[in-house]
Amino acid sequence: MVVDGVAAKESPVIAPAEEEVAPSPSEMQALHSFGFVPQCSSKMLKLVRWIPPLHDFSLNVDGACKGNPGDCGGGGCIRDSQGNVHLAFAHFYGVGTSMLAETRALSDGLLFASALGYRVSIVYSDSQSKCNIDYYVIFLH
């Protein structure tokens, strides 16, 4: 399906991605014994979990920019309360800023939801700049 030049694919379920796990101490020892020195992040892990919508659907969006300005794009997905992905979308926006990418991803997600009849009750985004936009989308729906 294409809405305003952005393609999306409806899917009953998309399998979760495999998680990357740091090597165990015994695996690290084995790697060192063969002369390998893996570059592992020393950052502390942060537990992140998804909170399902109480009713209707959730919209998860994100945008990214290589340089600011630079090549940018965005995308997202619409999920039900069980976490099943009903729609996923991504789009290259051309040269722009990170704010443009984040905002266009939100706009594209809302357009798809409206065009396909999904009632979005909550929007998830990592953009602090769009915090006020997301607040109004959530509570003025």
The tens digit of pLDDT for each residue in 70-89 reads: 999 999 999 999 999 999 99
Compute the distance between CA of residue 9 and CA of residue 104 in angstroms, rounded to an integer: 18
The tens digit of pLDDT for each residue in 17-73 reads: 455 566 678 887 877 787 777 676 656 667 777 788 888 999 999 999 998 899 999
Residue with the two structure tokens 């991504």: 90
* C-beta neighbour count of 74 within 10 angstroms: 27
Compute the distance between CA of residue 58 and CA of residue 107 in angstroms, rounded to an integer: 14
Token digits of residue 2 = 């294409």
Peptide bond into 69 cis (omega under 30): yes
CATH of domain 2-14+52-139: 3.30.420.10
pLDDT for 17 equals 47
The tens digit of pLDDT for each residue in 99-126 reads: 999 999 999 999 999 999 999 998 888 8
pLDDT for 1 equals 61
Position 90 confidence tier, pLDDT thresholds 50, 70, 90: very high
- Domains of the chain, by residue range, sit at 2-14+52-139
Compute the distance between CA of residue 80 and CA of residue 14 in angstroms, rounded to an integer: 12
**Reduced 3-state DSSP string for 95-137:** EECHHHHHHHHHHHHHHHHHHHCCCEEEEEECCCCCHHHHHHH
